[in-house]
Every structure is written in structure tokens, then in C-alpha cells.
Structure 1
Amino acid sequence: MIRWRKGTVERIRREWPGAVELDVALPEGGCRALAYPPLVGRPEPGDEVLLNTTALAMGLGTGGYAMVVAIPDRLPGDPTGPGHLVKARYTPLQATVLGADEQGSPHHETLREADSLTGMPVVVADLHSALPAVLCGLRADRPGTRVAYVVPDGGALPAWFSMSAARLRELGWLCGVVTTGQAFGGDLETVTLHTGLLAARHVLGADAAIVAQGPGNLGTGTRWGFSGVSAGEAVNAAAVLGGRPVASLRVSEGDLRERHIGVSHHSLTAYGRVALARAQVVVPLLDGDFGKRVRAEAAPLAERHELVEVPVGGLREALEASPVRLSTMGRGLDQDLASFLAAAAAGRHTATLLD
């Protein structure tokens, strides 16, 4: 189940908050590796490292790194401070963090009786690539909005894996990152998506939240076997807490798989079958026959939700000004403009809910 290798660090390629990218020499050749210093310490050139090369061997586009499991000759110190929330539980890399909602947290009293998002809009999206696009659309109309990114555990568990989230946090486009469930590495850690949303509102003071899995969407080509099912569950969580769920459609004109052309079957299942609470589903007013197709495919969702048609004029310019690279399944803005316009339209609509 795991491919193990030992290697030697040759050089540090680059780093961002919580992660270091390395070149590592192996007996069979070199490879690109990723280490999370909060978990394993900071590797340096010359260090011997123990690697998990499974994702690299599988050729995964998002997770195609060898992962540093340990630096055997220079182990990090023991963790200090409070916190007894265990994430990645009962795996060899389980880690203890301080949960915002646990008794030892300075936020425990705030969250102990918290029960409402007080109408906060919650944008729900399938893919991690929607995160910067939603922000581009929202900030185009309301640049000062405090937005929190709430991470469920459907994709990458370490929030540190996302260079986009780190950069958006650094620039102030995000007021914080909240990791929920088995996900970890955010500014705040919580046990559930529900307390994660409440922490976004009452601890970070967010005006709006975006819920989208971390990098590494998993799909099997079946109706129910994809990690984005959690988008429907996020709609339910936002609604039961008194938030305003805004559903961003997964749309593509450039995907080679027919099930994702137009409105992806992921969105139709997550919002049409899993989401039991009512949401505002944003339908982007795209041009031409493709735009007609998107509207027609989204139409059945009106049986359960409110469909909101949103113009996309000016959103391409907002997307082109994104401070982070826009990429979905390896396709950039020019290769799959519709995908990013759909997410940006959800951000544009969210701005109207804050007036």
C-alpha cells in the first residue's frame, strides 16, 4: 500500500508557509519531494530522508510528490503547548493540534454555545481550484470583505499543501484558514465542518466563508464515488446553522471527460441529491450554445433550490488579475474559461448578499 524509499536531500527548490519542496537523490534517480516542517522538521541539503513515493509512482497530477515521512538522523522536538485534538487519527503520522472548539482553547467559550452563522453567506464548491476564482468575483465588487476558507477533509489533509491558500492568506484575501475533520494545518483547527463554520464567523469575524476541499479531488467515474459529494453536505451544514448557502456549479468546456462537460455530474449529484437544504445555485450567464447547455443542465436543480442567473461581464478581467495561478485539472484560464467564470459568478452573487 505504501512505496518506501530512502534518499538524500540535494537542494531546497522553494518553500511556502508550512511546506518545503526538495530535490532528493534516490538510488534509481532523483525526484521532487515535499516536507511539512511542522510534522517532520525542516530538511536540509545532505539530510537522509525517509520517503513515501506512492503518489509519485502513480503519476497523480496534484499529489505527484514523494512525501517526506521522517528525517531519521535529526528528529524534531516534542510538541509543546496545549491541544489534544488528534488528526490523521490512528495513522503512522497522526498529529496532535489545538482545536478551536476544545476545552483548552481560548476560543472554547465563544464556540461552546455558538449555534448560528447569523446569515453569513457560505459559498460551496467542488474543486479547490474554485477558491481563488470565487474570491476574484467577490472582491471585484467588495474588495474589503473578510473571507475565511473552511477546509473539509475530502482532498489534501494538510492545508499547507495549498500554495494558493498560503498566498491568498498572506495577501489578506483570506482572513484565515479553518481545517475541519481530519484536515489540519489551518489557522484554526476544528472537529467538524459545523464548528469550522462557526469558528470562521465568531472567531475570525468573517463576512463570508468558502467551503471547498483541498487539492487532490478524488473521483471514480461513478455517480456517488467522488470526494465532492461533501459539497452537498456543506450546503446542509451551512443551512442548519443559519447561514446562506451559495452553491457554485462545477462547469467545464475543456474537460476531455463527457461527464464533466457542461455542468459536471458532481454538481448535479451533490446539489440535486445530497443537499437536503435549500441553497442559491449560481448559474453563470455564459455565451452561445454552451451557455444554453449550462442553463438547461442546471434547470432540474430548481426543484430543490433557487437558481440565480448571474452575468459574467467583466469577470474575465477580474480573473486575469488573480494574484495566484488559476488552474483546474491542469487547465488554465484560456483552456477552460467557463470553469473559472462559473466560480467567479458565485463570488459576484455573494457580494450582493453583503450589501
Structure 2
Amino acid sequence: MIQWRSGRVVEVLREWAGAREVAVEVDGARLRGLAHTGLVGVPEPGDRVLLNVTALALGLGTGGYALVVALPDRLPPDPVAPAPPAGPGHLVKARYTPLQPVVLGADEQDSPWHAALAEADSVDGLPVVTADLHSALPAVLAGARTVDPGLRVVYVMTDGGALPLSLSRTVAGLDAAGWLAATVTVGQAFGGALEAVTLHTGLLAARLVLGADLAVVAQGPGNLGTGTRWGFSGVACGEAVNAAAVLGGRPVAALRVSDADPRERHRGVSHHSTTAYGRVALAPADVPVPVLPGAFGARLREEAAALCGERHRLVEVPVDGLEQALAATPVPLSSMGRGYAADPPCFLASAVAGVHAARLVAAGGL
């Protein structure tokens, strides 16, 4: 199940919050290694490192990294627990794997926010944008900021892709630029400003603890798909719609769209969206669709309307000014290896979801 290698760090390549990328020499070859520093410590040139190269050998994963599992000759010191009630926490994530972290859950009994969340049952009309791919996040924010750049937007990361939030250079860049107010990691995902057991308590924490005006729910980098009707991690978008609705939020379903994907099942409105929103989401949601010219624009509207059926509400959103807004994002736009120029509808579909959600905030949510 795991291909192990031992190597020596020869150079630090770059780093961002919670992660360090290093060049590692392994049997005369040079590999890119990624260390999640909160888990394994901070590798320096000269350190011997143990690597998991399985995904790299198979050509899988996001970024093409060998993952640093340990610095066996220089183990990191034991964490110093803060004084109660902040404590080290008792919430175990990536459970029963060799690198399981223990974190403080916002919803656990030792948390200073436990009392606020214990009986909480509503997010009070919070608009919640749900998206299939992690790459939708900056586009959603770009769209929302055209309406109100001062919105407090909280990203709630689910565990369908990467579990460590520190893998995401996108989140690090958005956070550094002030585009994100905070992050919450839910399920098996970890590393957010707040941790939560479920998406439901994650959304409640976003609203009641972090004061979110708007939440964006999407998996971490590196989604999983099998080319089957049901075997893809983005199916959780439908469950996110249900979670937002049952908590009294306003679900906004961002469509996965492409005019450039070579796979027919992802052209127009992707089958991921038609399955997640058309079949899994049992609660009604707003489904924004970008108003685009020509045959492709007509196709999008027709496919989005079919997805909505009698349950969801189709919302047509003009794209005036969004190209400029997307060009101003503080992080690169890239989805499935394509940037904005290669596939504009992909990013415009996410951006109009942000526009619509921000307008809901302006209008008072529900």
C-alpha cells in the first residue's frame, strides 16, 4: 500500500503556512518533498527524511510530491499544551493512521466555544456556497468581493480531498491577502483556525464563533473520481446543501462547468453537479448560472434548468466585470490544469455563485 524511500534534504524550495517544500536526494535522483510541519517538524538541508512516494510513483495527486513522513534523526519536540480550557484537545483526525493529529474541536467539551455550540441549531440565514473542486474557492471569493469586499467569508474545508489544510497554497495566499476571514476543517480534515467533528458543527462554528457573513464549503485540493456515476468525492456537495438547509442557511450551489475538458461527462454542466445537486441534494438551493453568449451559454442554461427541476431555483447572473475581478485574485486560477484563458466558463460559474451569495447577504440572507 505504501512505497517507502529514505533520502537527504539538499535544499529548501519554498514554504507557506504549515508546509515546507524541499528538494530531497534519493538514490541519486532529486525529488520534491512536502512536509506538513505541524505533523513531522521542519526539515532542513542535511536532514535524513523518510518519504511516502506511492502517489508520486503512480502519477497521482496534486503537486507531484513525495510526502515527508518523519525526520527520524531529529524528531520534533513534544507540543506544549496551552493552559485549560484551550488545552491540547481530544479530537483525533486522520484517525488510526500513523500520523493522526489530536486537535481541539470547537464542538468538544474542553472547548471555550462548547457552550455556544452545545444546543445551537441555526446559522440564521447564512448564505452557504457549495462547490465541487477546491479550485473554485478563489473564483467564488472574487465574485463575492465585486458586491462587497468587506464580507467576512469563512472557508469550511471538507475531507473529500486533502486532509491537511496546509497542503493548500491557495488558502495560504487568500488568507495572507485578507480575502478569507478564517477557515474551519471538518470531518477528517484538519489544520483550520477551528476544527469541528461534522460539517454541521463546522457551519455553526463559522457563523456563531467566527461571525461569518458567508461560508464557502468545498473539499481540499486533490479530488477523487472514478469515472462512474457515484464514485467521486464531489458527491458530498449535495450533502452540503442538505446540511446548510437543515441549519436554516441559504444554500447556493456553485456549478462545475467546462468548455474545455476533454471528457464529455464534464463538458457543459459536469455530471458531478447534476448528480450531487440533482440527485443527492434533497433540500432546495439557489443554482446560479453565468449568462454567456452563443450556443455554449444556451447549453449551460438548458442543462442547469434541467438540473434544477422543481426543487431548485435557477438564478441567471450576468458576468459583467467578472473577468477583471478574476484577473485580480491574489492566487493563480487553475482547475484541472487549466487557467482562466483556457476555460473561462469554469471560473465564471464559480464567480457568479459568489456574486449571488453576496447579494443574499446584502438583502438579509433569507
- Aligned 1:81-230 pairs, distance under 5 A: 81=81, 82=87, 83-230=89-236
- Aligned 1:1-355 pairs, distance under 5 A: 1-60=1-60, 62-81=62-81, 82=87, 83-300=89-306, 301-355=308-362
* Displacement of 1:91: 0.8
The letter of the residue matching 2:149 is P
Aligned equivalents of 1:136 and 1:23: distance in 2?
A: 34
Aligned equivalents of 1:225 and 1:293: distance in 2?
A: 25
Deviation beyond 4 Å, 4+ runs, structure 1: none
Per the alignment, in what secondary structure is the counterpart of residue 189 of structure 1?
Answer: strand
Per the alignment, in what secondary structure is the counterpart of residue 32 of structure 2?
Answer: strand
The letter of the residue matching 1:290 is F
5+ unaligned residues in a row in structure 2: which ranges? 82-86
Aligned equivalents of 1:63 and 1:155: distance in 2?
A: 13
The letter of the residue matching 1:326 is L
The letter of the residue matching 1:280 is D
Listed one character per residue, the Cα deviations across residues 176-230 of structure 1 (whole Å, up to 9, x for unaligned) are 0100000001100000000000010011111000001110011011000000000
Per the alignment, in what secondary structure is the counterpart of residue 57 of structure 2?
Answer: helix
Per the alignment, in what secondary structure is the counterpart of residue 265 of structure 2?
Answer: helix
* Displacement of 1:61: 5.2
Listed one character per residue, the Cα deviations across residues 50-98 of structure 1 (whole Å, up to 9, x for unaligned) are 0000111121251420000000001112233220100000111111011
Per the alignment, in what secondary structure is the counterpart of residue 339 of structure 1?
Answer: helix
* Displacement of 1:169: 1.2
Aligned equivalents of 2:115 and 2:177: distance in 1?
A: 30
Aligned equivalents of 2:320 and 2:18: distance in 1?
A: 37
Contact 1:55-1:63 within 8 A present in 2 as well: no
Contact 2:157-2:217 within 8 A present in 1 as well: yes
Contact 2:292-2:319 within 8 A present in 1 as well: yes
Aligned equivalents of 2:28 and 2:302: distance in 1?
A: 52
Contact 1:148-1:177 within 8 A present in 2 as well: yes
TM-score, scaled relative to structure 1? 0.99
Aligned equivalents of 1:242 and 1:325: distance in 2?
A: 34
* Displacement of 1:99: 0.6
* Displacement of 1:303: 2.2
Aligned equivalents of 1:224 and 1:230: distance in 2?
A: 10
The letter of the residue matching 1:94 is Q
Aligned equivalents of 2:260 and 2:33: distance in 1?
A: 30
Aligned equivalents of 1:35 and 1:328: distance in 2?
A: 24
Aligned equivalents of 1:65 and 1:142: distance in 2?
A: 37
Per the alignment, in what secondary structure is the counterpart of residue 115 of structure 2?
Answer: helix
Percent identity over paired residues: 68
Aligned equivalents of 1:255 and 1:219: distance in 2?
A: 15
Aligned length: 355
Contact 1:56-1:63 within 8 A present in 2 as well: no
CA RMSD of aligned residues (A): 0.9
Per the alignment, in what secondary structure is the counterpart of residue 354 of structure 1?
Answer: helix
The letter of the residue matching 2:93 is K
* Displacement of 1:166: 1.1
Contact 1:21-1:33 within 8 A present in 2 as well: yes
5+ unaligned residues in a row in structure 1: which ranges? none
Contact 2:214-2:358 within 8 A present in 1 as well: no
The letter of the residue matching 1:67 is L
Per the alignment, in what secondary structure is the counterpart of residue 5 of structure 2?
Answer: strand
* Displacement of 1:296: 1.1
TM-score, scaled relative to structure 2? 0.96
Per the alignment, in what secondary structure is the counterpart of residue 212 of structure 1?
Answer: strand
